[in-house]
Amino acid sequence: MAEEVERLRADGVDKEVVREGAGPPPDFRDGTKATFHYRTLRCGDGEEPLDCSREQGKPMELIAGKKFKLPVWEAALRTMRPGERARFRCDAKHVVLYPMVAKSLRNIAAGKDPLEGQQHCCSLAQLHNHCSLGYADLDELQKNPQPLIFDIELLKVEPPGSYQQDPWAMTDEEKLQAVPQIHKEGNELYRQGKVQEAAAKYYDAIACLKNLQMKEQPGSPDWIELDQKITPLLLNYCQCKLQCEEYYEVLDHCSSILNKQHQGLLQAGEGPRRSVERGGGPG
């Protein structure tokens, strides 16, 4: 572990231990899951905070070897023991993609699509074009990358096979295969009256398909096929949100679905017709 700390320092990442952890160093082989809280701070006298997982209401989870967009986080975690808290000051080269990672995490915390607002282009192209991320602080950081401090507390480390993999950590093939099962689990939770839990399942399935859709050309057959799979899940999600009296989100999603159907009918040269019948609940 000491050697990993030295390698980090040589590469522009300085570690400062705030609280020692317990036990032997974990074996961070590929597939290991690390759960941790983090705070992101700007370097400087004031150390202005940018993001905090505790304020967002949920710790961060990272799977080793899954090529997370912020490799410095995985490298930092490999130097930690459970229970340890440490600060990592990272040179700008390590945090160029942080603004887009932060946007996705903020979206998730707000119950939105983590890919909302992303263009159909690679991350580096987005940076080059300085596409607005919808947050002034992240836009400024995207245009002018600077060193950041990550204050990380490692909560637990789970070896491969000992946990249920989250959808975001799956490969493309795993996502596509998992969607029907997640959909089924959501339906069962809905029938049991567990509406919030069902909504979370539908959201996970939608996120899987949205992630795959981002990699296809909009309007292509594969893109359309994925979109058709998203629609019933989104309607189920809206049914749950309607029961939770979250009306604005329901209106937003349903308006989007109706607009897409209307455009599809116009392009096909057909008149309006009833395409969705009222049902007794998600299906």
Domain holding 255: CATH number? 1.25.40.10
Pairing of β 33-42 and β 148-158? antiparallel
Q: Is the entire prediction scored with pTM above 0.75?
A: no
Which of 222, 221, 217, 212 has its CA nearest to residue 120? Answer: 217
Instruction: Please count the helices (runs of H) and the strands (runs of E) in the chain.
Output: 10, 6
Comparing 163 with 173, the larger pLDDT belongs to 173
Please indicate, yes or no, whether residues 53 and 132 belong to a single structural domain of this protein: yes
Tens-digit pLDDT profile for residues 16-50: 999 999 988 898 999 899 999 999 999 988 899 99
23 compared with 127, residue with greater pLDDT:
23
Same domain, 121 and 192: no
Show the domain range for 188.
167-268
The verdict on residue 88 lying in a domain is yes
pLDDT of residue 277: 39
Q: Which of 279, 25, 50, 36 is nearest to 149 (CA)?
A: 50
In three-state secondary structure terms, 67 is coil
Contact 98, 127 (CB under 8 A): no
CA distance 90 to 9: 9
**Shared domain check, 132 and 180:** no
Q: At which residue do the structure tokens 């493309």 appear?
A: 172
What total number of domains does the chain contain? 2
